[in-house]
Amino acid sequence: MNEVTMSGSPVETAGARVMTRGSVLVTIRRNVGWGVSALALCSTLAILLAIFWFVLSRGLPALKPTLFTTVTSGIAGGLENAILGTLMLVTFAVVIVSIIGFGTGIWLSSYASPKPRELVRLLTDVLAGVPSVVVGYFGYILLVKMAGWQFSLAGGAIALTIIMLPYVVRGTDLALESVPRELKEGGFALGATYTTVLMTVSWPYALPSVFTMLLLATGIALGETAPLIYTAGWSNYLPTAHLTHSPVPYLTYVIWTFISQPFAESHALAYAAAALLMLMIVVTNVFARSWLESLARKQRGERA
Amino acid sequence: MATVALSGAEKRRSRDAVLDIGLRYGTTAMALVTATIVFLIATFLIVYSWPAIAFNGFGILTHLEWNLGNQYGTGVEHRGGFTGSPGASFGAVVFIAGTIISSAFAMAIATPLAILVAIAMHYQVPRRLKTPVNTLVELMAGVPSVVYGLWGIGVLVPWISSSVGPFLAAHISWLSIIGSGSASGNGLLATSFILSVMVFPIMAATMRDVLSTFPKIVFEGAIGLGATPWQAVTTMVLPAIRTQMFAAAMLALGRAIGETMAVLMVCGSALNQLPQNVFAPINTIAAVIVSQLDSALTDPTGMAERSLSELALILFAITLSVNLIARVIMRGGDRVKRTA
């Protein structure tokens, strides 16, 4: 396939040996589409690298050790509070989303009857399409105002949970669906109950892809801003252990507010926060994908 | 000995039964939580926006002006059974128009590019490079909105202001949508461009997945009949999968419409005026919900905050319909494939 398409078909290359002026033009015309698409791909990767270069070249020099030990103060200072806040919010959200997301995914693939399953899958897809700012406003109405939690760790974490939930549900569902039937039937043949097979055969088999999806969702949660503005608030102090009534600082807030300040120190802080965030997200993504790849290879090997 | 072994097996069996019931009901409860979230979002947005819906009436869809009203005078204004500050006007036309125009521009740039890149990713990238290239494109989809915004402020906006704007104004100023160039660089062009960069990777990745579902043997059959690979792709593969490709574009459109932070950072935050050219500042529904929060909280009647909630409700309704249409189209495509 690749050999066929890299430079025209074999038929064409055979014909090209007896080349005339006309056939050169024909060859060009036939391959100009491939040239354009290759150019599009290259410029895409170039834009991606340009964005990385932009963030890292400005952010890494600004990443001083003191950033990790001082809190923000007005327009300058460090990032200690924001880093801690982001980690607390995301950790809390990962815990909640694991319970709800794994549960829903297991139910979808193992216990649900067809009609409700279709409905819950549809609702999960719908939830994935809800803009994050709408999730934020929902959290603001329900948690900040009606429940009276004010800007808080619990409010921000629940908003992030809603953002992550569709990915985790879908990942768990798909992973359990793709467990080979023979493996499960082997369990049943040994007299195991449905739930025993689920817990001792299917779940361990599905775990790598489930965790990959959880990691990818974590990467998304790390970079979210809009759902937190309305639920977590912001504070210049270290986040407290209180679940409610205490605003939480986070990295993405630093990026979007400090870049619009007219001071070099605040810009440096914004770029440092962005570089840190990008590093966290790249590590999460690359780790998730390569880990999944190697585990999947191992599983294929074991089955062969 | 025998009785001990039996009781052990029995214990295990009863433990299994408890585990079975526990998991069954536990996971059902979790699925109920997931299923209710969408309904909760819709319900709470409607309930909370209700005073604004009554107060604004259809005005929110027809008025240009977003004005909290006179907050320092005495008295309040009654409309639709609810009270707002005197002279308050909550019109969303500027934001709705900004959302539609910027998303349309972004899709016009991103869709053809995404199709080309999907073709390149599927047919041209050598097997050994497939995984790194796919990872890079997916990583691009994972870059946070706010980082794209930062890049917009740091690179894109200055570039539009210093190069693109003057260049276009100097050469094709007869085109009325160019206007007289751009002073700040923030505005419709920057927003559309950044939106297209943001939605494009996810669209390319989805389209690549769609392309990979096309049976290889049919493609090879076309080559066997004398088509060049490019002819096979453009005249056979793309028409055959056009519904799914369209659905992929619709899903990306849903994202563009709901995109917040990057847009907020480069759109110029227009209020009370529609864009006259591609460099004019605009505003989108998502961006205004964030940028107007602080001033809305100063409205003593609370009507501004309720109106922002109504904007969130409108945004929810728009993205919901776009996503459902995409889903219906995707389903329709599946059905065609199954019967074919």
Q: Where in chain A are the domains?
A: 2-59, 65-303
Distance of CA B80 to the CA centre of its chain: 33
- Asked if B138's CB is within 8 angstroms of A31's CB, the reply is no
Residue B209 has pLDDT above 70, yes or no: yes
Q: Are A179 and A205 in contact (CB under 8 A)?
A: yes
Q: Is 90 exceeded by the pLDDT of residue B69?
A: no
Instruction: Residue A97: list chain B partners with CB under 8 A.
Output: none
State the Cα–Cα distance between residues B249 and B242, nearest whole angstrom.
10
Q: Are A288 and A215 in contact (CB under 8 A)?
A: yes
Pick B151 or A18 by higher pLDDT.
B151
**pLDDT per position in chain A (304 positions), as tens?**
343 444 444 444 444 444 455 677 777 777 788 888 889 899 988 988 999 999 999 988 888 888 887 888 777 788 888 899 999 999 999 999 999 999 999 999 989 889 999 999 999 999 999 999 999 999 998 998 888 888 888 999 999 999 999 999 999 999 999 888 898 899 889 988 888 888 888 998 888 889 888 998 999 999 999 999 989 888 887 887 778 788 888 999 989 888 888 888 888 889 999 999 999 999 998 888 877 777 777 776 655 4
Find the distance separating the first CA and the last CA of chain A, reported in whole Å: 26
E strand or H helix at B306: helix B303-339
Higher pLDDT, B110 or B135: B110
pTM for this predicted structure: 0.87
Work out the minimum CA distance from A83 to partner chain B, whole angstroms: 16
Shortest distance, CA B113 to any CA of chain A (angstroms): 6
Which among B151, B233, B261 has the least Cβ separation from residue A225? B261
CA distance, residue A240 to nearest chain B CA (Å): 24
Q: Tell me the C-alpha to C-alpha distance, in Å, between residue B238 and each of A74, B112, B170, B242.
A: 54, 12, 39, 6
Say what the pLDDT of residue B299 is.
81
Angle at A139 between CA A136 and CA A140, to 5 degrees: 85
- The fraction of chain B above a pLDDT of 90, given in percent, is 36
With contacts defined as CB-CB under 8 Å, which chain A residues touch B220? 4
In order of A171, A258, B166, B185, the CA distances from B158 in angstroms are: 41, 18, 12, 6
Is the CB of A24 inside 8 Å of chain B's CB atoms? no
CB contact under 8 A, B234 and A33: yes
- Secondary structure percentages of chain B, helix, strand, coil, to 5: 75, 5, 25
The two three-digit tokens of residue B3, written as one number: 């009785």
Identify the CA nearest to A128 among candidates A172, A164, A173: A164
Rounded to whole angstroms, how far apart are CA atoms B228 and A32?
12
Are A268 and A258 in contact, with CB atoms under 8 Å apart?
no
Name chain A contacts of B254, Cβ cutoff 8 Å. 129
| B31 reaches A (C-beta below 8 A) | yes
* Residue B336 in this model has a pLDDT that exceeds 60: no
**Which residues in A lie closer than 8 A to residue B234 (C-beta atoms)?**
33
Closest CA of chain A from B174, distance in Å: 30
pLDDT score of B5: 55
Residue labelled with tokens 């078909």? A9
CB contact at 8 A, B327 and A125 = yes
Torsion sign over Cα B134, B136, B137, B139: positive
Q: Is A9 on the interface with B (CB under 8 A)?
A: yes
Residues 6+ apart with CB under 8 A from B176: B277
pLDDT at A20: 53
Structure tokens at B303: 């009507």
Distance CA B136, CA A150 (A): 39
CATH architecture entry for B92-291: Orthogonal Bundle (1.10)
How far is residue A158 CA from its own chain's centroid? 17
The pLDDT value recorded for residue A10 is 45
| Class of residue B11 by CB neighbours under 10 A (exposed 0-12, middle 13-18, buried 19+) | exposed
Instruction: Extract the tokens encoding B272.
Output: 């009370």
Q: How far does Cα A300 stand from its chain's mean position?
A: 26
Beta bridge partners of A72: A77
Q: Taking CB atoms and an 8 Å cutoff, what residues of chain A touch B201? A: 44, 48
| CATH architecture, domain defined by A65-303 | Orthogonal Bundle (1.10)
Look-up: residue for tokens 């004019």? B280
Chain B contact for A198 (CB, 8 A cutoff): yes
Q: Is A230 on the interface with B (CB under 8 A)?
A: yes
Provide the token pair at B127. Answer: 């097997």
Residue A72 phi, psi (nearest 5): -70, 145
B27/A110 touch (CB, cutoff 8 Å), yes or no: yes
DSSP H helical ranges for chain A: 2-6, 10-16, 21-59, 80-106, 114-129, 132-139, 153-177, 181-189, 194-197, 203-222, 226-229, 251-258, 264-303
Strands B82-84 and B77-79: antiparallel
Return the pLDDT at B332: 67
Kindly report the nearest CA distance between residue A7 and chain B, in angstroms. Answer: 9
* Contact in structure between A278 and A184 (CB atoms under 8 Å): no
The total of other beta-carbon atoms located within 10 Å of residue A65's CB is: 8
Option in A41, A47, A286 nearest B120 (CB): A41
3-state secondary structure of B76: coil
Asked whether the beta carbons of residue A219 and residue B142 sit closer than 8 angstroms, the reply is yes
Query: Do the Cβ atoms of A48 and B136 come within 8 Å?
Result: yes
Shortest alpha-carbon distance between residue A242 and chain B (Å): 25
For position A304, what pLDDT does the model report?
42
Task: Provide, as residue numbers in chain B, all residues whose Cβ is less than 8 Å from the Cβ of A108.
Answer: 31
CB burial of residue B85 (10 Å; 0-12, 13-18, 19+):
buried
| Contact status of A156 with chain B (Cβ, < 8 Å) | no
Burial class (CB in 10 A: 0-12, 13-18, 19+), B246: middle
Q: Tokens 């025209």, residue? A: A8
Residue B71 has pLDDT above 80, yes or no: no
Task: Report residue A278 as tokens.
Answer: 């990008």
Full DSSP string of B160-224: IIIIIHHHHHHHSTTSTTTTT--SSS-SHHHHHHHHHHHHHHHHHHHHHHHHHTS-HHHHHHHHH
For B144, half-sphere exposure in the C-beta direction (CA atoms, 13 angstrom radius) is 32
How many angstroms separate the Cα of A244 from the Cα of each of A107, A135, A224, A239, A247? 31, 18, 20, 11, 8
**What residues 301-320 of chain B have any CB closer than 8 A to a CB of chain A?**
308-309, 312, 315-316, 319-320
